[in-house]
Amino acid sequence: ENGRWLPSKIIFAANWKINACPINAASAAANGDQVAVAWYTAAGEKARVEIAFSKDAGATFGKPALVSTGQAYGYSSVVLNDGGGATVSWLERGGGDARVLVRKVSADGALGPVTEAAKGDRHNLGYPRLLRVGQDTWMVAGQKVTRLAK
Task: Determine the pLDDT at residue 70.
Answer: 87
**Cβ 39 vs Cβ 50: under 8 Å:** yes
Q: What is the pLDDT of residues 11-51, one digit of tens each?
A: 888 777 776 666 677 899 999 999 999 999 888 878 899 99
Cβ-based neighbours of 55, under 8 Å, separated by 6 or more: 33, 34, 84, 107
pLDDT at 123 over 70: yes
**Cβ 34 vs Cβ 107: under 8 Å:** yes
Task: Determine the pLDDT at residue 5.
Answer: 86
Candidate from 7-11, 14-18, 60-64, 66-70 with smallest mean pLDDT: 14-18
Q: What is the pLDDT of residues 82-93, one digit of tens each?
A: 888 999 999 998
Task: Determine the pLDDT at residue 14.
Answer: 77
> How far is the C-alpha of 9 from the C-alpha of 89, rounded, in Å?
24
> Which amino acid, one-letter code, is at 103?
R
Cβ-based neighbours of 23, under 8 Å, separated by 6 or more: none
Mean pLDDT of 103-118: 94
The per-residue pLDDT of the chain, averaged, comes to 89
Task: Determine the pLDDT at residue 20.
Answer: 66
Task: Determine the pLDDT at residue 142.
Answer: 86
> How far is the C-alpha of 111 from the C-alpha of 30, rounded, in Å?
19
